[in-house]
Chains A and B, each alone.
Chain A
Amino acid sequence: MDSRLTQFDELAGTDGCTRPPYRKLSQWLAETPPELLASRREQAELLFRRIGITFAVYGAQEATERLIPFDILPRIISRSEWTALEKGLIQRVAALNAFLADIYGAGEILKAGIVPADLVYRNPAYCPEMAGRRAPYDIYVHIAGVDIVRTDDQGFFVLEDNARTPSGVSYMLENREVMMRLFPELFAMHRVAPIENYPDELLATLRSVAPLRANGDPTIVLMTPGQYNSAFYEHSFLADKLGVELVEGRDLFVRDDVVYMRTTEGPRRVDVIYRRIDDDFLDPLCFRPDSALGVAGLMGAYQAGNVTLANAVGAGAADDKAIYTYMPEIIKFYLGEAPLLQNVPTFRCREAEALAYVLDRLDQLVVKEVNGSGGYGMLVGPHASKAQIEEFHAKLKAHPQNFIAQPTLALSTCPIALASGVAPRHVDLRPFVLQGANGARVVPGGLTRVAMTENSLVVNSSQGGGTKDTWVIDDAWVDEKTMGQA
């Protein structure tokens, strides 16, 4: 972190006075011998390895199955903080859906001149095949992962919307299971909101968007690119929890615009596909002809309304980093409401004035490629070498429209347990928002990602970031305070 910025620690606050949600944890930490923490750390590692919760890192031959570092201290959010956050998340996802329905339909927001048309139509994630067609029930983003950061006690900022195939929810669920095995005493002390109902909520969401012909009893499948995909563990975990078949492209085929899976009892009709495979690979007839992962004719079946894909094809057009900068306007335009969650202030480098400002301050800003993900294609100014800054200077001048820039945020920190003791590390939060035909659902919490290295701001698991359990607890201290005063 930039040492010039004041750092907000979620346990210690800014004034060093333990924040209420962390009081019990802090006391427990003070009374707990370091050896106990060390032994629980070992136990956690063992549990994760046994269960086989692994993450594949591309390009690393030796370590194709790596554990994501797990920190044993919970991150704690109070119920009142959560309630505000939850409202903002639901609002945000409603706006994303309205925006997608609009840009693939009438295009009102473009005609109104609020979002520049070229940002939409020239976006590689915009899917022309979807133009003029409506997704079933007008829902495009069924599962969203909205990345949230905080910099002070006041509120939360949205760092990124993930509307394609956001991952990480299995870690959220498994982290909780492991924590409950490791620290029953901590759960007894706190009233932690449960998250174990996530698979049921997801199933209800997927069932709600099934084609009508399924008559309330749809066949749902989860589609994975296969066991070499980095998130394969999550795919199999979710399919298991949902009680649905985990299919690969080769398990499916299309006949007369209807999707079937190959089973031991012959072909079986499929109604809803929760696909964890990118648009480009869905259907070799429609998208990449070299894709061996997809199903020939799938798009035709989708367009005929015989199968629902979640998320919808082309949903990526809404989570682009350039569109992100327009989210406050998008929320106002469709919902007539002020945004409940703020964006991180962002410079659109496509605008000349902003570009000039950014070029002058590359050493202070974070520059991101509009279509990049996973922390790749990114410049963190304060930590960059001279050569890197020069490289980005040139890139920005050549293709300014491909970039946005943000101030280096003083991301909040949380305590983590290291071999050397307890120390603060930067975190973010990815809650998972479900949007079905019958309403929106968010389970309380999400995946907290931790930059395991001191001062690092990069939390992506592909780059060595870790995770921890996220607790939403009742604001019990409010009662205690009132009772004390009485």
Chain B
Amino acid sequence: MLSRTADNLYWLARYMERADFLARAIQASRRLAALPKAYGGDETEWESVLLSSGAALAFEESGRPVDEANVVGFLTFAPENPGSIRNCLEQARANARAVRTALTIEMWESINDAYLEMRSLESRGGVACAQELARFLELIKQTSLTYDGGAYRTMLRNDAYWFSRVGLFIERADNTARLLDVKYHVLLPEKEIVGGSLDYFQWSAILRAVSAHTAYHWVYRTSMKPWLVADLLILRPEMPRSLISCYESIVLNLDNLARAHGRQGAAQRHARGLYGRLEKLSMESVFQGGLHEFVQSFIAENNRLGALISEQYLF
């Protein structure tokens, strides 16, 4: 397939995944920020959403005070924030439009419908009230579900599909890792848990941001423990947003590409290496070496994979 098409599909998947993550992160934070101060609800929560979405610097430049209205506005509709949901969706649609021939009608329609709806919302002044915001965030989550489902159910299993899957999982791994990076301090095991911890609602907000709140209980069948939250997001293969699960999918899709092209390259080797390390890893060793350090190095390795894919396939 054309390198440009592959590039577009790869980024299209990343934008869609990012928009979905932003929507979930905002929802989880609103829930947390709405709690009484004694339960962990306070404005610093908005600070951490900015950090985990990678928008902190751009927000700072806007000179606005950090509060719910400003941060939510910045992350949803602000045109000056390159990573706002609005811009993600617009970029996704521009990419989709450029490679329409590589998408199925279901995939295109899900993006186009959401885009048209967002434009009409925007022309009515954006998300003015809490109810509208909730509806908009739901729309974004729904769109990523129909888009993803459309891809899964209707796309031919060829390089178009594999490139877009690789994009999705690299972005998802990045998002999960960033979330861990911002919240690592509340996930450390040395914290003694006595009765109801102040951080309890922090942990549940993290799980909600990656839609794993229910999953946690099915996997561990125990009350919430921070190190288990970290375990779920890093090492549990059955958790679809864990780092290890993302890498399992990345390896699989890159291998499909390699088989079709008859050539294994640096991207495949790098992904397999990273996956192998995750497989051998235990949470004890993660905590020993430092959760923060681990996450930071993972983010760098994940970015490195993105660069290798570009070199190998996208010219």
- A247 contacts B97, CB within 8 Å? no
Q: A239-B101, A264-B261, A265-B261 are in contact. Are A49 and B116 (CB under 8 A)?
A: yes
| Choice from B3, B94, B108, B159 contacting A227 with Cβ under 8 Å | B94
Q: Flag A41-67 by CB within 8 Å of B: 1 or 0 each.
A: 000000001111000000000000000
Q: Quick one: which of A49, A50, A250 has the most chain B CB within 10 A? A: A50
Those of A15-74 within 8 Å (CB) of chain B: 49-52
Q: For the complex formed, measure the closest distance between the CB of B180 and the CB atoms of chain A, giving whole angstroms.
A: 32
Question: Any chain B CB within 8 A of the CB of A160?
Answer: no
Q: Flag A257-300 by CB within 8 Å of B: 1 or 0 each.
A: 00001111100000000000000000000000000000000000
Q: For the complex formed, measure the closest distance between the CB of B304 and the CB atoms of chain A, giving whole angstroms.
A: 20
Q: Which residues of chain A come closer than 8 Å to B99, judged between CB atoms?
A: 246
Q: For the complex formed, measure the closest distance between the CB of B108 and the CB atoms of chain A, giving whole angstroms.
A: 7
| Choice from A51, A227, A261 contacting B2 with Cβ under 8 Å | A261
Q: How far is the CA of A246 from the CA of B5 in the complex (A)?
A: 9
Question: Any chain A CB within 8 A of the CB of B218?
Answer: no
Q: How far is the CA of A264 from the CA of B109 in the complex (A)?
A: 26
Q: A50-B112, A52-B108, A227-B94 are in contact. Are A263 and B100 (CB under 8 A)?
A: no
Nearest chain A residue, comparing its CB with the CB of B95: A227
Total contacting residues, chain B, CB less than 8 A: 25
- A262 contacts B101, CB within 8 Å? no
Q: For the complex formed, measure the closest distance between the CB of A180 and the CB atoms of chain B, giving whole angstroms.
A: 16
- B100 contacts A240, CB within 8 Å? yes
Nearest chain A residue, comparing its CB with the CB of B5: A245
Nearest chain A residue, comparing its CB with the CB of B159: A264
- A227 contacts B97, CB within 8 Å? yes
Question: Any chain A CB within 8 A of the CB of B113?
Answer: yes
- A264 contacts B1, CB within 8 Å? yes
Q: How far is the CA of A247 from the CA of B4 in the complex (A)?
A: 9
Q: How far is the CA of A223 from the CA of B257 in the complex (A)?
A: 26
- A263 contacts B3, CB within 8 Å? yes
Question: Any chain B CB within 8 A of the CB of A236?
Answer: yes
Q: For the complex formed, measure the closest distance between the CB of B306 and the CB atoms of chain A, giving whole angstroms.
A: 15
- B2 contacts A52, CB within 8 Å? no
- A245 contacts B2, CB within 8 Å? yes
Q: Which residues of chain A come closer than 8 Å to B116, judged between CB atoms?
A: 49
Q: How far is the CA of A51 from the CA of B1 in the complex (A)?
A: 24
30 sample A-B contacts, Cβ–Cβ < 8 Å, listed by A number: A50-B112, A51-B105, A51-B109, A52-B100, A52-B108, A52-B112, A226-B98, A227-B94, A236-B97, A236-B100, A237-B100, A239-B101, A240-B100, A245-B1, A245-B5, A245-B101, A248-B4, A250-B4, A251-B3, A251-B4, A262-B2, A262-B3, A262-B4, A264-B3, A264-B6, A264-B159, A264-B163, A264-B257, A264-B314, A265-B261
Binding site for B on A (CB under 8 A): 49-52, 226-227, 232, 236-237, 239-240, 245-248, 250-251, 261-265
Binding site for A on B (CB under 8 A): 1-6, 94, 97-101, 105, 108-109, 112-113, 116, 159, 163, 257, 261, 313-315
